Amino acid sequence: MTISQQAIDIASKVEDFVRNVVIPYEQDPRRDHHGAPTDELVYEMREKAREAGVLTPHILPDGGHLNQRETAVVLIKSGLSPLGPLACNTMAPDEGNMYLLGKVGSPELKDRFLNELVEGRARSAFFMTEPAADGGAGSDPSMMKTTCRLDGNHWVINGRKTFITGAQGASVGIIMAKADEGACMFLVDLPDPAIRIDHVPNTIDSSMPGGHATIAIDNLRVPADQMLGEAGEGFKYAQIRLSPARLSHCMRWLGCCMRAHEIATDYANRREAFGKVLVDHEGVGFMLAENMIDLKQCELMIDWCASVLDTGSLGTVESSMAKVAVSEALMRIADRCVQVMGGTGVTDKTIVEQVFREVRAFRIYDGPTEVHKWSLAKKIKRDWKHASGG
């Protein structure tokens, strides 16, 4: 199936907007305590995206959604700047939260919580990961300690969460908690006095407003009609969200690495050393050639996984494979860009240094490489047993 002309046209508009409007904002000083853009900056860019017709571009005016292959074409272009996904409203965790609400949310929940996210007038957070010190859920959500119990027509939630991206300043929260029936998800308005931000650490990455907070939830009362779907189905809903969310991370960071490669290429073709421009030195030219190869492999891996998701499959195995392959390849690309640019590559004169930091963190987001490999190895064993009759 080919990519529609509509998606190609949207992607072209997004690229033009990011290159001409967003990139100049990269030097804007409006940043928080660890270098992430402030909400003031985010919403200013979103107003310009709205005027340009590229706000939430993967969700169509009639409420329809581009398929995953088409979404990839658009989100890659939005990623040409670390600020691009924020400006165009294609950034995590909002993009994944919108996708989940669109798939599972009731008409009432969509009207109350989804619309403001699609319109780019609010940010959201997904409350799943828990502190290791509490023995809580990290890459293994079955370890969840946060509880919820029904009390009349409300659910009461208690627990702690950590590394909750964008919680500070978010207006919408999706909270995972464990009931007798199993895992549950709830939609909540933020801020709420029963949800306390204990700490927002400085982290290696700095592209996401609100940081990655540690949260305490103390007797939070949520109306029963704000449960997402059915009690006990939370893990199933998480899988609906996580596979596309993993892949959209790959899309956005591929765009960033394409831009970093452009910057490194320009540098290598202008900077002279030892009698010729850097690109003519085999050691430098070969690094850029390897980048070309890795960039194309990432693009193809994303397209393959997206095509699987477009069949209606959850794509759990395929998204694990893509997440590992793409995140590791992007790390190699970002590292080579820094190396090609030498001292300039580790300064804030370009986005190359930031892309290196962001991609290093991406190797952990949505499951570390090793967890996905372990999951794939378990599948290999299961398949072998099935094939051998063992």
> Which letter, b or e, does each residue of 148-176 get, where b requires 16 or more Cβ atoms within 10 Å of its Cβ?
beeeeebbbbbbbbbbbbbbbbbbbbbbb
Inside any domain, residue 198:
yes
**Based on the domain organization, do 10 and 35 belong to the same domain?**
yes
**Based on the domain organization, do 64 and 141 belong to the same domain?**
no
Inside any domain, residue 105:
no
Inside any domain, residue 103:
no
Joined together, the tokens standing for residue 340 give 């090609």
Inside any domain, residue 245:
yes
**Based on the domain organization, do 86 and 213 belong to the same domain?**
no
**Going residue by residue through the chain (390 aa), what tens digit of pLDDT does each one get?**
689 999 999 999 999 999 999 999 999 999 988 889 999 999 999 999 999 999 999 998 888 899 999 999 999 999 999 999 999 999 999 999 999 999 999 999 999 999 999 999 999 999 999 998 888 877 787 889 999 999 999 999 999 999 999 999 999 999 999 999 999 999 999 999 999 999 999 999 999 999 999 999 999 999 999 999 999 999 999 888 888 999 999 999 999 999 999 999 999 999 999 999 999 999 999 999 999 999 999 999 999 999 999 999 999 999 999 999 999 999 999 999 999 999 999 999 999 999 999 999 999 988 999 999 999 999 999 999 999 986
Task: Choose the final residue of a domain: 66, 91, 116.
Answer: 91
The parent domain of residue 195 ranges over 124-231
State the pTM of this model.
Answer: 0.95
* Whether the Cβ atoms of residue 208 and residue 122 lie closer than 8 Å to each other: no
**Based on the domain organization, do 41 and 78 belong to the same domain?**
yes
Joined together, the tokens standing for residue 125 give 């957070």
**Which residues make beta-bridge pairs with 196?**
216
CA gap 181, 175 in Å, rounded = 16
Nearest residue to 356 via CA among 250, 248, 139, 206: 206
The CATH number linked to 379 is 1.20.140.10
Helices (runs of H) and strands (runs of E) counted in the chain: 12, 9
Torsion angle defined by CA atoms of residues 288, 331, 22 and 205, in that order, rounded to the nearest 10 degrees: -150
Domain count, the chain: 3
Task: Choose the final residue of a domain: 204, 231, 258.
Answer: 231
**Based on the domain organization, do 224 and 272 belong to the same domain?**
no
Cβ count near 80 (within 10 Å) = 26
**Based on the domain organization, do 344 and 367 belong to the same domain?**
yes
**Based on the domain organization, do 211 and 269 belong to the same domain?**
no
Alpha-carbon distance values, 68 to 110, 170, 192, 308, 311 (Å): 21, 26, 34, 9, 10
**Based on the domain organization, do 184 and 293 belong to the same domain?**
no
Provide the 8-state DSSP code for 18. Answer: I
CA gap 110, 259 in Å, rounded = 35
Inside any domain, residue 96:
no
**Based on the domain organization, do 142 and 71 belong to the same domain?**
no
- Rg, Å, the chain Cα set: 21
**Based on the domain organization, do 224 and 265 belong to the same domain?**
no
